[in-house]
Amino acid sequence: MKINDDLKRRIGSILFTIGAIVGMTLAIIAIWGDLEASLFATAMVADEPMRSLRCPVMITAEETGIVRASVSNKSERTVTRSVRTNISLGFVTLMQEDSDLITLAPGETRQLSWEVTEADSVWGRLVLLRVHLLRSGLLPSQSSACGIMTVNVTGFTGNQIVAMMFFIALTGIGVGGWLWRTSHPIANDQVIRRFWRMVLLGTLVLATLIVGLAGVWIVGVILILATIIVLLSLFAAAAHSH
């Protein structure tokens, strides 16, 4: 029984560690991209964020990524909205700017889309994009940006890689934590404390990942710092136990 418990403990620790590393890596990729994008093409100030902007977290070298957004007319009259889009062209200071005029009937919503590729990436790593919707009458101006990581991988799309990394993170943390806990049929105070630290760490990693994928990079940065603090406490507890 002791050998089986030792084996479960080791497998659980390995799975949990892999899940946490993969989850935090994906979260940092998503948050880093949007953090860099927040500083891109900021010459125009908007009244509010454009919450409809949707960007892939990453694209591969052979892939064309699609960025989407919707523009709505919530007024009672027909309006014409001006949309300005900036996309990086290999350098932070070099960008493509497109302008479009969209006429919307009362209550109408129009879907917009833009294509990006690895050739648009800055430093060969990030495609930066900003969409600015100019003010029209009483309708406020809106602006949002996103960063898309480019990866030199073949055989998969960026969305497939993100899905696989998310699955590894969720499974590794969940199954690994469960195996580690069940490998201690009789738990003392030290085991219980370490287990709850693992639960806290796993929760923080998954929360950071979800927030990063949702594009809320400011909250993501705070969660990354909290995760580092919990991780250091785990290392300190492990060193003390030895």
Lowest mean pLDDT among 23-37, 124-138, 184-198: 184-198
For residue range 47-69, what is the model confidence (pLDDT) as tens digits?
999 999 999 999 999 899 999 99
Q: Reduce the DSSP state of residue 125 to 3 states and report it.
A: coil
Helices 189-213 & 2-37 angle (0-180, nearest 10)? 30
Binned at pLDDT 50, 70 and 90, residue 239 comes out as: low
Query: At residue 162, what is the residue type?
Result: V
Residue pointed to by tokens 């996103």: 146
- pLDDT tens digit string along 206-228? 999 999 999 999 999 999 999 99
Q: What is the pLDDT of residue 52?
A: 94
Question: Which residues on neighbouring strands pair with residue 103, listed in sequence order?
Answer: 80
Residue 96 CA, chain-centre distance (Å), reads 24
Cβ-proximal residues to 168 (8 Å cutoff; 6+ apart), any chain: 18, 19, 22, 23
